[in-house]
Chain A
Amino acid sequence: MQDLGIRVLFMGDNFLRLLGGLWITVKISLLAVALSIVLGTLLGIIMVFKNPVTRFVTRVYLDFIRIMPQLVLLFLVYFGLTKSFGINLSGQVSAVIVFTMWGTAEIGDLVRGALISIPKHQYESGQALGLTNKQVYRYIIIPQTLRRLIPLAINLTTRMIKTTSLIVLIGVVEVLKIGQQIIEANRYTVPDSALWIYAAIFLLYFLACWPISLLASGLEKKWKN
């Protein structure tokens, strides 16, 4: 077995199946990111309010979500909800819920940071130039906030894709699980295929995340000033 089973990768539709598995991961991340952007923006705006109650609640939410490992949150939703409340969610649905909760916290904090980082004189200068309040937001505040946020939101997408690899541990059939299935299916004919299959999955993740990180760092550099 000198080729160490690289041919398993190209046998039948094995490679396509791996890609299909990766797509499940990416699909869940994209869905979660989209939901997080909407909910996170709301959370960020709520966090700027001076109301002590909303401040306290959002702070606790944010700290709890950020401190807990995502795997713990997945366990909480997947096993905890079923046991305590009898809500039986599939692995994929729990994953979307957990990653949306996490993404909302992250985006919320980013939005809050961006909102309070716009200096007051930007509003005042706008008004001094005779712009209405609406115009100040439309032409001055929102474009600046977006420039700060978009690279960070794109970055969150790569973190999301990487973290979504955890869903294999709550029984979702994604790229790692399919990899294991392929290895097991060829256990007798090609006993050494694990090396190449896992190397292929490693590279697939890299190819999925790398362009997105490049885009994020490129935009960040371009919009620095």
Chain B
Amino acid sequence: MDTGFIVEYIPMYIEAAKLTLKLGVIGILFSLIIGVCCSMIQYYKIPFVRRIVAIYIELSRNTPLLVQLFFLYFGLPKIGITISSETCAIVGLSFLGGSYMSEAFRSGLESIEKIQMESGLSLGLTHSQVMRHIIFPQALSISIPPLCANVIFLIKETSVFSVVALADLMYVAKDLIGLYYKTDEALLMLIVSYLIILLPISIVATLLERRLRYAGFGN
């Protein structure tokens, strides 16, 4: 282990980690928005749009991000749609994440029994009040564990961004291996960087999950 080398290249890893985090966070935010929209469309069974959402979910859940990125970055320019690497990464991650988030929300919404809506309405609440005060809080508490799992999954997926020429953590590590043949050091820093990013998220997720077990109704 060459500690001097490690110290010298830490700033590069910090820059790369910032990029990974930035793209990850933006991608996850978009995924959440797409997820909420898609799950609402499926919950209210809006005709036709619902079919499109179903097709989107199946397509995105059954293909790897790497292939989606290749199509976006190398395929689309051939029909005149050229997008920058960063946009491409965000679009790819949101396309993938949207369906996973949507499934997480949907599982929460579907697990709330119909009787809850009916009881709320019979107490004189309006539809939106029932949704806001009764359905959403319960659905969210059920959706939190899969949502957390998806956040971790999506940040892990950002590791393929190096294929669209983004200088993320993998890219820096591969660069250092190629340039200086410092494989051990580069890989060690790579692991440490991902641990620093993902370990806190994973711990928070576990804590959240433990707290939310009490939020269940009737069991």
Contacts and interface: CB of A to CB of B under 8 A. Distances in A.
Do A and B belong to a common assembly?
A: yes
Contacts of A84: 183-184
B136 to A, nearest CB: 25
A198 interface: yes
Nearest to A63: B202
> Secondary structure at chain B's binding surface: helix, strand, loop or mixed?
helix
A123 interface: no
B66 A72 contact: no
Of A163, A196, A213, the most chain B CB neighbours within 10 A belong to A163
Interface stretch (B36-44, B113-121, B152-160, B209-217): B152-160
Nearest to B66: A165
Contact of B74 (A67, A194, A206): A194
A71 interface: yes
A201 B61 CA distance: 15
A14 to B, nearest CB: 16
A202 B63 contact: yes
B67 A165 contact: yes
B157 A69 contact: yes
Contact of B71 (A68, A192, A199): A199
A83 B184 contact: yes
A210 interface: yes
B170 A75 contact: yes
Nearest to B162: A169
A195 interface: yes
A198 to B, nearest CB: 4
Contacts of A194: 74-75, 77-78
B71 A202 contact: yes
Nearest to B68: A202
Interface in B4-26: none
Interface residues of A, number: 40
Contacts of A71: 159-160, 170
B122 interface: no
B62 A80 contact: no
B76 interface: yes
Interface string A160-199: 0011011011000000100100000000000011111111
A68 B67 contact: no
Interface residues of B, number: 40
A4 interface: yes
Of B64, B156, B173, B195, the most chain A CB neighbours within 10 A belong to B64
B198 interface: yes
A205 interface: yes
A158 B61 CA distance: 9
B165 interface: no
B187 A75 contact: yes
A41 interface: no
A210 B74 CA distance: 24
B76 A195 contact: yes
A67 B187 contact: no
A192 B76 CA distance: 10
A162 B183 contact: no
Given A83-B183, A195-B78, A67 B62 contact: no
Nearest to B155: A69
A91 to B, nearest CB: 15
B159 A72 contact: yes
Interface of B: 58-59, 61-64, 66-68, 70-71, 74-79, 152, 156-160, 162-163, 170, 173-174, 177, 181, 183-184, 187, 190-191, 194-195, 198-199, 202
18 contacts: A4-B78, A67-B195, A68-B194, A69-B156, A69-B158, A69-B194, A70-B156, A70-B159, A71-B160, A75-B170, A76-B191, A163-B64, A166-B66, A176-B67, A195-B76, A201-B70, A205-B63, A205-B67
Interface of A: 4-5, 63, 67-72, 75-76, 79-80, 82-84, 158, 162-163, 165-166, 168-169, 176, 179, 192-199, 201-202, 205-206, 209-210, 213
Given A69-B157, A198-B75, 12 more contacts: A67-B152, A67-B195, A67-B199, A69-B158, A71-B170, A72-B190, A80-B184, A169-B160, A179-B70, A195-B76, A201-B70, A206-B59
